[in-house]
Chain A
Amino acid sequence: MKAALKHGFMLICAAYISLPIVIVCLSALNGGRSMLFPPKDPTFARFWEFFVSEPVWLRSMENSIIVALASATLAVLITWPIAYDQWKRNTAFSRALTGLAGLPFALPPIVFGVGLSFLWTFVGGLGNIFTGILSHTALLAALPLVTISIGLQSIDRYHLDAAQTMGADEPTSLRTIILPQTLSYTLSGFFFVVVLSFHEFIVIFFVSASAYSTVTLQIFNSLRNGFTPTMAVGAITFLLVSIAVFSAVARYGDLPRLLGADPARKDN
């Protein structure tokens, strides 16, 4: 009885969370130009439009992918040494860098977006996709920083001792023990950035200065003409990417542990 109540509550929450998403997804099937629910004259024509016939969506999809992959790569490259230094040496300098790297994520994104738009206006490059990449790198670097730090902390120090007694110096340990053992954590951080960058709106809104658009921007820009079912295809695509990525993280990494569950408690 109690268990039924619990599961009932959880399922109601899940339904509440899924409802708008499901509605968006189903609206993609609308035959006409307007977003109706339930969809009228169901058709898959909108998918054709999104992925093939309307270049504006293709281009923004391309931009989304470029920004997401590039900023995720940069974020991992920047945060790896910071996390490693903090873990290995824990100096005041490394702690300061850690704090700085996590700072943008903790602020209201609109403030950071405004600041970035000033920065790129002054140094040039506002509206250049490269500054968009850097902006997302800064905004989302906190995520790989956290996952990599968790990964480093999960390394058994005796493994490093063992490697040392077998002749490994610090660079060798880094290459043969630390990097392979933190690979899944690094990848998780990478994919967290990819997914959040896909969906991020306000910062890229400020720094793109309408010179290019990602999918979220394109949707927002098209809103003035009302929602169209083609946008919903974008939502479906992104949703599927998110689910695929997080499932992969859950499958190959320890998702509960990444989110802070007690590592010792494997089963309960």
Chain B
Amino acid sequence: MLAYVIQRLLQAVGVMLAVGLIAFAMFNYIGDPVNNMVGQEASQADRAELRQQLGLNAPFPMQFARFVANALSGDFGMSLRMQRPVAHLIAERLPATLELVFASAILALAFGVPLGVFTGIKRHSWVSRVILTVSLVGVSLPTFVIGILLIYVFAVLLGMLPSFGRGEVVKLGWWSTGLLTKAGWLAIVMPAITLSLFQTTLILRLVRAEMLEVMRTDFIKFARARGLPERAINFGHALKNTLVPVITIVGLNIGGLIAFSIITETVFQWPGLGALFIQAVQFADVPVMAAYLVLVAAMFVLVNLAVDLLYYLVDPRLRGERAVAGGGH
């Protein structure tokens, strides 16, 4: 187990270093940082001095090492556009995005898995057909259309839910949460549903396909022949065997949601990272872009690490092989 975790952690460090290199390269290839910092009228001597001060004359590996060291301490420099430390900007925006993403991931799992199991088992029932047909809407309608439709019905016509923003937020240290106030809960409903719809459909169809596959296997037939109750077969033996692919997809998607919740955030004017990133791109705000890139990569790496550990818990065959591999060397 330990060897496995260490191995995965080393891989994660490798990935992060590679991403860090790309983020660092952006500073050198997208404009000259000195130009961005001093005005047009600065003299050649001033520039040279600043260059020396900033350590830009140091060899490339030294510069990169400093970038990594700074990044590790959370220092990504100043935003060119806002003239504020990038770390602060991100710390302000991150909670909104993470809360939205996890709310929608939980919605997607809470609906996707049971509906997938149901449509997998009762595949000839008309209820399953209705669920599958309706779920097509989830994949085929673009996110912004769903968002705007929801706003029109629930905010404009019915006036039940707010159409934009996070509602009232409470500060917990640097983390601002909307989940402790009623207004915050009302505000997150529509964005979370919008963001989760596609995921729900994906999980539903994946679980269904996997269930159909697993129900044909010999061990399910044998479990029936042993006279186990249907519930134990469907939700124990069968569902557990669908988990590995489902965990993979859910993991990849959570990473994707954090990185690309941009459209939903724009439609609902959700003050998250997506909006910050869009603005940074428009202004070529390199420090923000670099920090965003590193952050998103870190999220992906973390989620994938969690996915790998979950595999390990779910499938004893992996444990066996790893244990042999780990113990043998």
A binds B: no
Chain A: residues with CB nearer than 8 A to chain B? none
Chain B: residues with CB nearer than 8 A to chain A? none
